[in-house]
């Protein structure tokens, strides 16, 4: 089952027929992390680690959005 998920995301990111926006890729990342790890964990990365911080923020905002009514 893990291999199926990996292949799907590999195809989605590397073999895509179109170029999705970074915002869409971050949403996919947030769904993936929420499904595999659960709630956002750890501390927010430094402002100098731009990619890691964007991923963390996407995961955190997805987690928060689960509780909005």
pLDDT digits (tens, 9 = 90+) for 3-60: 666 667 777 666 656 677 888 889 988 888 888 888 888 899 999 999 999 999 998 8
Q: Is the pLDDT of residue 61 over 60?
A: yes
pLDDT at position 5 is 62
Q: Is the pLDDT of residue 2 over 70?
A: no
* CA distance linking residue 30 with residue 59, whole number of Å: 4
pLDDT at position 52 is 92
């Amino acid at each position: 089952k893990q291999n199926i998920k990996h292949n799907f995301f590999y195809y989605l990111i590397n073999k895509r027929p179109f170029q999705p926006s970074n915002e869409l890729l971050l949403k996919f990342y947030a769904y993936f992390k929420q499904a595999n790890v659960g709630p956002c964990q750890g501390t927010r990365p430094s402002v100098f680690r731009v990619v890691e911080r964007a991923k963390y923020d996407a995961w955190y905002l997805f987690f928060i959005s689960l509780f909005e009514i």
